[in-house]
Amino acid sequence: MDCNRNFGNIPDTSLVLLSFLKQKGCQNSELKRELDDLDEQLKLPTNHNYFESDGELQTDGHNVSFSYREILHELQHQVQPQVPVNAEEAQAAREMAAELIRIADLLEHRLLSQAADSLTKKLCRSQEQFWASHLSDGVKALLLQVAGAKEFKKELVEMAFTFVLMKSVCEHVPEFLFRLYGTVVQYFLPHRSH
């Protein structure tokens, strides 16, 4: 997939990010477990299956019930991942992730390591509401340092560097995976301007 030509047809960010993380692999066994847990949570059914209570009635006379989607919504801090509806969408996400990995590989290990260390320190010291800003600053600094990135669309490079920086931080602090995943997906929502 040549993502430079097909940028308008980017698969769902949540799906691409999950595919990126799985294809890139994990050096940290705790991060691998966190990624497996995230993958399982994102595979929840997208239809409206409900948990029914044992007959407890609400004040309006209806039974108490919760949809999987509502529970996922609570767990993911308002990240609503789109589980692939077909094999074509899943394949497109895998191809896009592979292209982003190729772009991310332009980063020198030293540059990525320094950026990840700096970002990890900032995230540890700040509230989650500021994480997107710290992540954005880290990516912007990397964009200025990598000359070879100019051959790709800026949006793709930004996405690749964001994903690889997130993964590097999570290699140091695996328990950040769920929250950073949500931050990154929210950051790339179409209505958000960068």
Going residue by residue through the chain (194 aa), what tens digit of pLDDT does each one get? 444 434 445 568 888 999 999 999 888 999 999 999 988 887 744 333 333 344 444 444 544 444 434 444 444 444 445 455 578 888 888 999 999 998 998 888 888 999 999 999 999 999 999 999 999 999 999 988 887 777 888 889 999 999 999 999 999 999 999 999 999 999 888 655 54
User: 67-70: long-range contacts at Cβ-Cβ below 8 A with a sequence spacing of 24 or more?
Assistant: 68/44, 69/44
Q: What is the pLDDT of residue 12?
A: 81
Per-residue tokens: 64: 């108490």
CB atoms within 10 A of CB 147: 8
Amino acid identity of 185? V
DSSP E strand boundaries for the chain: 50-57, 63-67
Residue 43 corresponds to which tokens in the numbers above?
Answer: 């595979």
What ranges do the domains of the chain cover? 13-44+65-188
- Amino acid letter, residue 35: L
Which sign, positive or negative, has the C-alpha torsion 87, 42, 94, 188? positive
DSSP category for residue 85: S
Sequential DSSP letters for 144-159: HH-GGGGGS-HHHHHH
pTM of the predicted model as reported, rounded to 2 decimal places? 0.72
For position 192, what pLDDT does the model report?
A: 53
How far is 92 from 122, CA to CA, in rounded Å? 34
Residue 40: the pLDDT is 86
The total number of residues shown for the chain amounts to 194
* φ, ψ at 24 (rounded to 5°): -70, -30
